[in-house]
């Protein structure tokens, strides 16, 4: 690759923003300089130059694979649409979060994943993907078919994170049964009768499968050196169990108490970008902005809206909760380090030239919108 020079921009570094330039060669950053330069190169036009975003939990690929209930889309067009969307949102490293296990035969997560995994590998090998794709397997512990459906991921080189989930209504994310009813009857189109049947059935499955499946995946992560995450921790006991099992990440803690317990044990907390942008949780749980104010927010995930990552960064800065470098770290350096990726997540010499050009646009009714104007992965422009 030829040498790249990015000039006339505001460079977002780990602890400060400087007016300056960045040089990259053969996919790596070779120099970061403050002040102006007369070297020819890409004119940032005064925009911000940030590290490419690192997304470790997004359901967006699943949304393209099943755009409507019971409607499954072909793997390759779904993947390419998802890839284009995350790249346009400034995400240069994406962990495709794929849910494994569901007692509902009509669900995507109750289906075989081998074709999806093969499609990711094929598209990557042919240079068709803009972002660097990894796998985050979300294991639904009470589902009877979870271990069987995990088989295509077993030993796969892209597998970088496993999270342990239990969506049984009445606890964790769905501690409020009414919130669960609204979600399942609204998004999934279930009738009230089906929802009530599933609540009863889910409790039976949890009692039978959750603990043996949990032990299987805890042992798997220890044996294979895969990062382990808990999911929807609500109590200190939830966090204590996950930490004892080797979890280093607490995804979407639902209470301040759980988030504080995770921090006390050295675990990273992950919250959703949509939670920040919307001003609260769609499940009625703790607001991510509150955790940020308390110093208990480490990582932001776009969850179900890729564009929410930069939207959340802009909101946190505009509301005076975090500085720009601190907010950017939640979507770059912090998620990269949590998953042992030491080669990206910052604009620093020798790291990957994963970079995005961002303009903050003032909105008529107040606030700002972050607009991605260009993106590079390992020095190659992808947007």
Q: pLDDT tens digit string along 244-267?
A: 999 999 999 999 999 999 999 999
Is 15 contained in some domain? Answer: no
Each residue of 54-83: pLDDT tens digit? 999 999 999 999 998 889 999 999 999 999
pLDDT tier for residue 169 given thresholds of 50, 70 and 90: low
Lowest mean pLDDT among 168-182, 196-210, 354-368: 168-182
Is 240 contained in some domain? Answer: yes
CATH code where residue 162 lies: 3.20.20.140
How many distinct structural domains can be found in the chain? 1
Is 179 contained in some domain? Answer: yes
Is 370 contained in some domain? Answer: no
Residue pair 268/298 in contact (Cβ under 8 Å)? The answer is yes
Is 76 contained in some domain? Answer: yes
Task: Say if residue 175's pLDDT is above 80.
Answer: no
State the pTM of this model.
0.91
Task: Say if residue 199's pLDDT is above 80.
Answer: no
3-class secondary structure for the chain?
CCCEEEEEEEEECCCCEEEEEEEEECCEEEEEEECCCCCCCEECCCCEEEECEEEEEECHHHHHHCCECCECCCHHHHHHHHHHHHHHCCEEEEEEEEEECCCCCCCCCCCCCHHHHHHHHHHHHCCCCCCEEEEEEEEECCCCCHHHHCHHHCCCCCEEEEEEECCCCCCHHHCCHHHHHHHHHHCCCCCHHHHHHHHHHHHHHHHHHHHHHHHHHHHHHHHHCCEEEEECCCCHHHHHHHHHCCCCEEECCCCHHHHHHHHHCCCEEEEEHHHHHHCCCCCCCCCHHHHHHCCCCCEEECECCCCHHHHHHHHHHHCCCCCHHHHHHCCCHHHHHHCCCCCCCCCCCCCECCEEEEEEEECCCCCEEEEEEEEEECCEECC
Is 14 contained in some domain? Answer: no
Q: If you average pLDDT over every residue of the chain, what do you get? A: 92
In a 10 Å sphere around its CB, with 0-12 CB exposed, 13-18 middle and 19+ buried, how is residue 17 labelled?
middle
Is 323 contained in some domain? Answer: yes
Of 266, 267, 260, whose CA–CA distance to 236 is shortest? Answer: 260
Strand partners, 51: 355
What domain range includes position 101?
Answer: 52-343
Is 258 contained in some domain? Answer: yes
């Amino acid at each position: 690759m030829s040498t790249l020079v990015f000039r006339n921009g505001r460079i977002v570094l780990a602890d400060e923003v400087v007016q300056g330039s960045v040089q990259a060669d053969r996919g790596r950053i070779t120099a970061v300089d403050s002040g102006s330069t007369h070297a020819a190169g890409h004119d940032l036009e005064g925009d911000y130059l940030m590290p490419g975003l690192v997304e470790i939990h997004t359901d967006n690929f699943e949304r393209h694979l099943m755009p409507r209930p019971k409607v499954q889309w072909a793997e390759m067009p779904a993947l390419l649409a998802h890839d284009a969307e995350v790249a346009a949102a400034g995400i240069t490293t994406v962990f495709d979060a794929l849910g494994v296990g569901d007692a509902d035969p009509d669900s995507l997560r109750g289906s075989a994943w081998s074709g999806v995994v093969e499609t990711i590998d094929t598209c990557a090998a042919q240079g068709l993907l803009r972002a660097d794709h990894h796998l985050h397997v979300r294991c639904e512990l009470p589902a009877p078919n979870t271990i069987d459906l995990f088989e295509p991921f077993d030993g796969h080189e892209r597998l970088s994170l496993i999270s342990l989930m239990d969506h049984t209504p009445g606890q964790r994310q769905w501690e409020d049964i009414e919130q669960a009813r609204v979600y399942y009857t609204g998004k999934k189109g279930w009738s009230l009768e089906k929802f009530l049947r599933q609540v009863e059935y889910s409790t039976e499955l949890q009692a039978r499968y959750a603990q043996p499946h949990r032990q299987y995946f805890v042992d798997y992560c220890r044996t294979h050196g895969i990062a382990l995450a808990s999911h929807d921790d609500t109590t200190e006991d939830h966090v204590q169990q996950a930490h004892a099992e080797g979890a280093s990440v607490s995804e979407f803690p639902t209470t301040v108490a759980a988030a504080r317990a995770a921090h006390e044990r050295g675990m990273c907390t992950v919250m959703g970008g949509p939670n920040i942008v919307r001003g609260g949780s769609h499940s009625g749980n703790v607001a991510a902005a509150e955790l940020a104010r308390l110093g208990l927010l480490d990582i932001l995930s776009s969850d179900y809206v890729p564009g929410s990552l930069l939207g959340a960064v802009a909101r946190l800065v505009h509301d005076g909760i975090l500085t720009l470098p601190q907010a950017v770290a939640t979507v770059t350096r912090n998620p990269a380090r949590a998953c042992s990726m030491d080669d990206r997540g910052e604009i620093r010499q020798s790291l990957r030239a994963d970079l995005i050009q961002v303009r903050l646009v003032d909105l008529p009714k107040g606030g700002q919108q972050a607009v991605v104007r260009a993106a590079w992965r390992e020095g190659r422009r992808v947007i």
